[in-house]
Amino acid sequence: MKTFTLRGIKESPPYMHDGRCLTLEDTVEFFNLILQLNLTSQEKADLVAFMRQL
């Protein structure tokens, strides 16, 4: 399966194939709910911060 690189992800909103997630925070929350990851607020913030650095 071909996937896009995460490099420069912060500069390419909206996210998802149909543009349903307008921000990285929305995208992280979407997958947190769909995949039932049960991430804490701090974990979600850390993940978004990491993606902004790519």
Q: How far apart are CA 41 and CA 31, in angstroms?
A: 14
pLDDT at 51: 94
- Tell me how many domains the chain contains: 1
Q: What is the mean pLDDT of residues 38-47?
A: 98
Which residues does 25 contact at the CB level (< 8 Å), separation at least 6? Answer: 44, 48
User: Within a domain: residue 43?
Assistant: yes
pLDDT at 42: 98
Residue 18 lies in domain: 9-53
User: Within a domain: residue 4?
Assistant: no
pLDDT at 2: 78
User: Within a domain: residue 2?
Assistant: no
User: Within a domain: residue 34?
Assistant: yes
User: Within a domain: residue 31?
Assistant: yes
User: Within a domain: residue 49?
Assistant: yes
Residue in this structure with the two tokens 């992280």, named with its chain if needed: 28
